[in-house]
Chains A and B, each alone.
Chain A
């Protein structure tokens, strides 16, 4: 059981380039999230999805887009990368219903924008 898998694990981009981070979960979870982690700031929510075909903005959505075309996948896109987007990105998922809210996290993706 793989849980939550993020690809790629590392990426270096030049300013203005675009890229997509892929998150895949095999637990049939309804909810999926993208966070970024910066030193001294904990994890901040970028976007989230409560189901296939639905997405919503979190705390820091600017500069990012997301899509949830399949229940098991949640994609995070950077259309024009900026140095301020250098960060470690975490995907997480959880099931819906009573007893939920316990997030299962991926291993993180380190992105450097030069």
Chain B
């Protein structure tokens, strides 16, 4: 079974600064998808960014980017120019290609301080 590990239960960052959230995963698969989801206090799960394992180029979405290291099985999320609205729980997730079982990490609670 695939496992996803987020080793930082809580992090904080000053507004406008950059922060990196860590995620590692364990799999024997070669083709899969990785995700970062954001869960603000409203509890709604929101997709932040998605990476396909066969693509070497790191995904980016505006202020959000990932550092995907396939050999190291690492998938970190970088948030640039942090905003107060980025305060949330962030979950890293893994899904095998053509599989329906998405596995989540335990989450990192990020607080952006003014």
Contact = CB atoms under 8 A, between A and B. Distances in A.
* SS of B interface (majority): loop
Interface residues of B, number: 22
Name A's interface SS: strand
A44 B103 CA distance: 7
Contacts of A56: 100
Contact of A102 (B42, B47, B91, B105): B47
Q: Chain A: interface residue count, which band?
A: 20 to 34
Contacts, number: 50
A50 to B, nearest CB: 6
B43 A101 contact: no
Interface stretch (A20-28, A35-43, A77-85): A35-43
Contacts of A113: none
A12 interface: no
